[in-house]
């Protein structure tokens, strides 16, 4: 399945979660609900996946964590904040670069319109 195919299915999961829970919960609640939705459609995922950083010739385990990685191809970065800041977008782009993955979705659940709160980020590699 391509990243685009996965993105379509993931967005469906995100919409289901938002329609059932609405805004205002903690990020961890949305993460658990998305995992449930991913299970329902038989997509593999990893939660809170450790992301090491390579600097010159060494590996640094700095404690970075990816909220969700679906099918080893798409990062989902979950937020539940009043306003997404530029740093949230840059965080996902950096995660894409460090992981070598091509596609990430940044989603802010603390909003009244989830369709306008999902941002697609592509790693130019």
pLDDT in tens, 25-39: 999 999 999 999 999
Task: Residue 99: give the domain boundaries.
Answer: 3-122
For the residues 63-83, what does the mean pLDDT come to?
Answer: 95
pLDDT in tens, 87-120: 999 999 999 998 999 999 999 999 999 999 999 9
Alpha helix positions (H), the chain? 3-21, 27-40, 86-99
pLDDT at 125 over 70: no
For the residues 64-78, what does the mean pLDDT come to?
Answer: 96
Q: What does the mean pLDDT of the chain come to?
A: 94
Neighbours of 49 (CB within 10 A): 16
Whether the pTM exceeds 0.85: the reply is: yes
The number of domains in the chain is 1
Q: Can you give the CATH number for the domain in which 91 is found?
A: 3.40.1350
Whether the CB-CB separation of 88 and 106 falls below 8 Å is answered with yes
């Amino acid at each position: 399945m391509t990243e685009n195919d996965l993105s379509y299915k993931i967005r469906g999961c995100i919409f289901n979660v938002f329609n059932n829970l609405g805004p205002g919960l903690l990020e961890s609640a949305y993460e658990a609900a998305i995992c449930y939705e991913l299970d329902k459609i038989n997509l593999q995922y990893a939660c809170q996946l450790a992301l090491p950083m390579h600097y010159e010739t060494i590996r640094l385990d700095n404690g970075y964590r990816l909220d969700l990685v679906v099918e080893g191809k798409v990062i989902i970065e979950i937020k539940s904040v009043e306003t997404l800041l530029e740093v949230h977008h840059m965080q996902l782009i950096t995660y894409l670069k460090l992981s070598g993955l091509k596609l990430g979705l940044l989603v802010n659940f603390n909003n009244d319109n989830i369709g306008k709160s999902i941002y697609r980020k592509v790693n130019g590699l």
